Amino acid sequence: MGLIGEVLLLPFAPVRGSGWVIRQVLNEAERLYYDPATVRAELAQLEERLEAGEIDEEEFDRIEDELLDRLEIGLRGGAGTGDGTAQ
């Protein structure tokens, strides 16, 4: 882009900067969401909740399936592709 284009787009610099920041925050959130260590810790907490009687078997199975799906994606390395998708 030439000098004239840069000058014309200068008023939009804060918007472009904000977009970059939002992308970085989303990428980090996605990385943490699919992090195998985080998912394993959530699985351990889920089992504790079941043993304490806070949740029933049906809810445990549903949440466990979701966590195992996240773990699989995290172990495959599909998280954090930078395009806003997990795979």
Taking only the tens place, the pLDDT of each residue in 18-31 is 888 999 999 999 99
Higher-pLDDT residue of 60, 85: 60
Fill in the amino acid letter for 51: E
Question: Measured on CA atoms in the order 24, 27, 33, 38, is the torsion positive or negative?
Answer: negative
What does the mean pLDDT of the chain come to?
A: 86
Q: How large is the average pLDDT for residues 54-73? A: 96
Taking only the tens place, the pLDDT of each residue in 6-16 is 777 778 778 77
Q: DSSP character for 12?
A: G
pLDDT at 13: 77
Give 76: exposed, middle or buried? Use CB within 10 Å, 0-12, 13-18, 19+.
Answer: exposed
Q: Give 25-30 contacts, CB < 8 A, sequence gap 24+.
A: 26/84, 27/80, 27/82, 30/79, 30/80, 30/86
